Amino acid sequence: MNSGPICAMVWEGRDAVKTGRVLLGATNPAASAPGTIRGDFAIDVGRNVCHGSDSVENAKKEIALWFKPEELVSWKQASHNWVYEK
């Protein structure tokens, strides 16, 4: 993460970690499906183009490395209640 500019972000929502991992693709780019970030933009594991937490517990630790609690903003989409049951 120190080889160039980065964009740190926090995603929230139902199964955010699991969904994020699907969007990123397999850790090994060669095993990543086309249409995933790693499948489309990465070649070698050692030069990975993205990182995503592998669990909610690790996400909490990693979020704390980059953000202060007051820097995080929770946002609720206007259509939330139409999309989610709870």
* Domain residue limits, the chain: 16-83
In the numeric block, which tokens belong to residue 59? 């996400």
Indicate if 51 belongs to the active site: yes
**Which of 18, 51, 60, 80 is the catalytic position?**
51
What's the rounded Cα separation, in Å, for the pair 84 and 86?
5
**Confidence class for position 1, pLDDT limits 50, 70, 90:** low
The structure's pTM equals 0.78
Per-residue pLDDT tens for 6-59? Answer: 899 999 988 999 999 999 999 999 999 999 999 999 998 888 789 999 999 999
Average predicted confidence (pLDDT) for the chain = 91
Query: Measured at the alpha carbon of residue 22, what is the angle toward residues 19 and 27, in degrees to the nearest 5?
Result: 130
Give residue 39's pLDDT.
94
* CATH number of this structure's domain 16-83: 3.30.70.141
